[in-house]
Amino acid sequence: MRRENSWGKAVGKLVNARWRAEKAPGGRQSLRAIPFPICRPTGFVPTTLLPRLLLLLALSACAAPRLPQSTTAVSTRSFQVDWSDFTLGPNDLIAVAVFGQAELSSPPTGVRIAPDGTLALSLTGPIDLAGLTPSAAAEKIETALAAYLKRPAVSVSVVEYTSRRFFLFGEVQSTGPIPMDRPITALEALSMGGGLLPGANRTAAVIIRRHGTQDIEVIPFNAETPGPEGLVQIRSEDFIFVQKSGVGTFNENILPYLQGTGFTLSQLGSLALAYDRLYND
């Protein structure tokens, strides 16, 4: 039974409205004049091209081109271990040591950064640590303490990352947000979800990466016979989806999982196009 929800209806209305705009007298340029790069099914789907992409899908069901690759040179896919994404954020648990000043140091078990990204010290008051590496946070605390102490020396270490997370959904044993405490690959991320369910289509996994409020990046990979894409590094807030075996639409397979996750209608429209072209051609 097909699952319907308000998000699905909203995306449908968006598609229909743009279709009517294309067909109306005095509408946009003709289909023949629309530039459209034909590439492989991976990469950005800029939402500024969404009306044209949807029109092409509607008018050329059988001969439709494959999902276009990025129309920009920007690509965030990386296969190198990178700690730069692991900056401090709200609710991270850190240990702060002020050498020679035990009363100013945190307990060995650590202290949590506040939801607003600050850490309160008895001498200085709240210090904003959000977005800083542990070493940069130590330097900032040293600067704040320098008004009260002579040449303070501070070290900051992470006890637990909670502000960095990715999401697993679809045919995975354990779905939902999973904290990231280190750089991981796409295949490692799936294993952190307890593995795949028996009905999973192991060749149809995809990473969905948001870029602001406009663009998304779609990175498909094979979870059964790992190729290079399975070793791509996961970023904080990435969504990893594993499709169920058999043909299904975006509304049936992915949309129910994305409620309340912050995707805009434009991003959902782009993602619907990417998903249905990738898995249902």
In a domain, 148, yes or no: yes
| Bridge-based pairing state of the strands 111-112 and 154-160 | unpaired
Whether the per-residue pLDDT at 205 is higher than 70: the answer is yes
At 30 the pLDDT is: 36
Q: How many distinct structural domains can be found in the chain?
A: 2
Quote the percentage of the chain above a pLDDT of 90. 24
61 and 168 share one domain = yes
Half-sphere exposure of 191 toward its Cβ, with a 13 Å CA cutoff?
8
188 and 119 share one domain = no
In a domain, 275, yes or no: yes
Last residue of a domain, one of 160, 182, 213: 160
Q: Which of 60-69, 75-84, 194-203, 240-249 has the lowest mean pLDDT?
A: 60-69
Average pLDDT over the chain, rounded to whole? Answer: 72
pLDDT band at 262 (very low <50, low <70, confident <90, very high): low
Say which CATH number the domain at 107 has. Answer: 3.30.1950.10
271 and 206 share one domain = yes
In a domain, 29, yes or no: yes
In a domain, 85, yes or no: no
186 and 244 share one domain = yes
Beta bridge partners of 179: 165
Provide the whole-model pTM. 0.59
pLDDT band at 267 (very low <50, low <70, confident <90, very high): low
In a domain, 1, yes or no: no
**Angle 222-177-258 (CA atoms, 0-180°, nearest 5)?**
75
70 and 186 share one domain = yes
In a domain, 246, yes or no: yes
At 258 the pLDDT is: 63
| DSSP character at residue 225 | S
In a domain, 150, yes or no: yes
Last residue of a domain, one of 160, 188, 217: 160
Last residue of a domain, one of 160, 191, 208: 160
Roughly how many angstroms between the first and final C-alpha of the chain, as a whole number?
22
What would the pLDDT profile of 151-171 be if each residue is shown by its tens digit? 999 999 999 988 888 989 888
61 and 182 share one domain = yes
What would the pLDDT profile of 28-51 be if each residue is shown by its tens digit? 433 333 333 333 334 444 545 444
Contacts of 12 (CB under 8 A, 6+ apart): none
At 157 the pLDDT is: 94
Alpha helices (H) in the chain, listed in sequence order? 6-23, 50-59, 134-145, 186-192, 250-253, 265-279
139 and 179 share one domain = no
Say which CATH number the domain at 22 has. Answer: 3.10.560.10
In a domain, 61, yes or no: yes
154 and 267 share one domain = no
32 and 108 share one domain = no
173 and 122 share one domain = no
At 4 the pLDDT is: 43
199 and 270 share one domain = yes
Give the domain extent around 20: 6-80+164-279
Percent helix, percent strand, percent coil in the chain, to nearest 5:
30, 25, 50
Asked whether 66 and 57 are in contact (CB, 8 A), the reply is no
